[in-house]
Structure 1
Amino acid sequence: MFLILRSPMLSSDPCHCRNRVTISKKVFARKLCRDWSCTHHRTIPLAELRLFQPCRACVSFLCTNRGMLLMRTINDILAISAERKGGEAAVLESVELSADAATLAAIPDDRWLSQMTRSIFQAGFNWRVVDNMWLGFETAFHGFDIGRCAMMSDDWFDALCRDTAIVRYPQKIRSVQQNAVFIQEHSARHGGFGRMIAEWPASDYAALLELLKKEGNRLGGSTGQYFLRFMGVDGYILSRDVVARLIAEGVIDKPPTSKSAMRAVQAAMNEWQVQSGRSLKEISRILATSCG
């Protein structure tokens, strides 16, 4: 792997710090010449940086940002997508506008629970079946009234497990109660669940996904991502094609499941947003169409 270092901190001038560190011989760096903005590079094994006795800060920066420093610009990736799909318009035509903060904040709590439940039941199941049965879900769960669902009795739960108007999946039925409590707690804390979502910074979207995974029930992985997308939140979907592009760009080396991998994904998304001013939805679409 080769890295293009874009920081004057890591120019060709040797670091004079005497804090020796151990650097993997398998990692390489493409190091800029004395004028760090110059486009002429020379390639050296990163292990040779031991000769310069680099400080820990320099090595930490290098090792934690190697994916972001290697990756193409979003415009370069868009060019790949456009060539595959027949132009930029074809790549981005299906991207819907995200809801603004005021709109998200105004969405009542029961609608957040409704979409959470819909996304959970659709996960690993035929989406069309769930869509066709959705009126039955709304009736069975009393319009997803937060207080009522949070206090679901055992008798109501047993009745739901026998209700042919919904998909009878006990674990997912129980998740409605648990997610009602989750929404209820954050709604009380923020003056509405929608307000919390609306105020969440896009630059830390990965942390929002982590919150859904940790405090919600059955909202990890793509389920939480699709839930937010369907509610109009600007975000990315880590589909197979998006992950393939992130791997190709050196951001990650396998599907991201750890917090550190998700931080790397978020850093790359933030960089691409700074470069282009595009939404996370647009960036997600560009990445996906460059591979699939």
Structure 2
Amino acid sequence: MQSFNDLWDAAANRKGGAEALEALLPPPTPRDALEETQDSRLLSAMSRRVFQAGFNWSVVDKKWPDHEAAFNDFNINHCAFLSDEDLDALTRDPRVVRHFKKIQSVRDNANLLVALAREHGSAARFIAATPDEEYIALLDYFEKNGSRLGGVTLQIFLRDIGKDGFILSKDVLTALQRERVITGKGTSKRERHAAQEAFNTWRAQSQRPFAHISRILAFTV
């Protein structure tokens, strides 16, 4: 496995130099900003990524204000208590992308966020408090207890709300395979934890957030 400095040099060579590469890296979100995020905004961001999965993202983006209205601004208590009849009505609501399983996931994920809020004060605090070194454990938790949060859907959502982490995109997986961190698609428990260890090592070497390392790794492909 190459050092972070070697990866940086390779990415910089592809992107026109160190200054150009630095400009492409996302600014980190302060932890306290994530902690203060309302759980309704978490449910909205999560649901948006669920609805976008396998669908035209721009269509969902254009309709999202209508989804906000249809789901009462994604108030987690309101959404957690949607009845089956309410869900059926939403499948006929022209404001909403009419995919029953995705509509149902809003209620399921609202219940998960309500449970986290009850235990931790808010779901946002739970996410913010999870150590970055245990990012894969956070993914495992939400994939096990949430609805339709597999693949990169959950990873992109966490990036959206400001949780530092890496996205196992096609290019990142290719780079991890090249570095012999993984040999497959990064879906097995063993390979996911191997990826976590590799990112932990690169972060210790660079003192950069996972979001930067993930982007830099992708740029080496």
Q: Aligning the two structures, in what range does the TM-score lie when normalised by the shorter sequence? A: over 0.9
CA distance in 2: counterparts of 1:79 and 1:98, whole angstroms: 21
Output one character per residue of 1:101-141: Cα deviation in whole Å (capped at 9) or x when no partner.
Answer: 21111111111100010010111111100000011000000
- Sequence identity percentage: 45
Please tell me whether the aligned partners of residues 252 and 265 of structure 1 are also in contact (alpha carbons under 8 angstroms). yes
Distance in 2 of aligned mates of 1:236 and 1:200: 14
Amino acid at match of 1:196: F
**What SS does the corresponding residue of 1:160 show, helix, strand or coil?**
helix
What does residue 191 of structure 1 align with?
A: 121
> In the TM superposition, what are the counterparts of 1:73-92 in structure 2 within 5 Å?
73-92=3-22
Match of 1:258 among 188, 202, 211: 188
**Match runs of 1:135-150 below 5 Å:** 135-150=65-80
Q: Does 1:208 align with 2:125?
A: no
Task: Tell me the alpha carbon deviations over residues 151-186 of structure 1, each in whole angstroms, 9 at most, x when there is no partner.
Answer: 111221111001111110000000000000010111
Q: SS at 2:149's partner residue?
A: coil
* Corresponding residue number in structure 1 for 2:171: 241
**What is the CA-CA distance between 1:216 and the residue it aligns to?**
0.7
Q: What is the number of equivalent residue pairs in this alignment?
A: 221
**1:185-239 Cα deviation digits (max 9, x unpaired):** 1111111111001111011111111111111111121000000011111111111
1:57 corresponds in structure 2 to none
The CA distance in 2 between the partners of 1:120 and 1:274, in whole Å, is 33
The TM-score, its normalising length taken from structure 1, stands at 0.74
Name the TM-score, length of structure 2 as normaliser: 0.98
**Residue 229 of structure 1, aligned match among 159, 162, 165:** 159
Q: After superposing the two structures, state which structure 1 stretch, 95-104 or 138-147, moved more.
A: 95-104
Q: Higher helix proportion, which one?
A: 2
Q: Residues 84-233 of structure 1 correspond to what in structure 2 (within 5 A)?
A: 84-233=14-163
State the SS of the aligned residue for 2:98. Answer: coil
The answer to whether the aligner puts 1:285 opposite 2:215 as a matched pair is yes
Take 2:19 and 2:67, find their aligned partners in 1: how far apart are those partners?
A: 38
State which structure, 1 or 2, has the greater radius of gyration over its C-alpha atoms.
Answer: 1
Cα distance in structure 2, aligned partners of 1:185 and 1:171: 21
Higher RCO by CA contacts (8 Å cutoff, separation 6 or greater): 2
- State the alpha-carbon separation in 1 of the partners of residues 26 and 206 from structure 2: 18
What amino acid does structure 1 have at the position aligned with 2:96? I
Question: In 2, are the aligned partners of 1:92 and 1:282 still within 8 Å (CA)?
Answer: no
1:267 maps to 197
Which one-letter code corresponds to 2:25 in the other structure?
A: V
Gaps of 5+ in 2: none
Query: Contact 1:91 / 1:285 at 8 angstroms: preserved in 2?
Result: no
> How far off its partner does 1:100 sit?
1.6
Q: Distance in 2 between matches of 1:130 and 1:216?
A: 21
Structure 1, unaligned runs of 5 or more: 1-70
Contact 1:92 1:285 in 2 (8 A): no
Q: Distance in 2 between matches of 1:127 and 1:89?
A: 31
Following TM superposition, by how much is the alpha carbon of 1:274 offset from its aligned partner in structure 2, in angstroms? 0.5
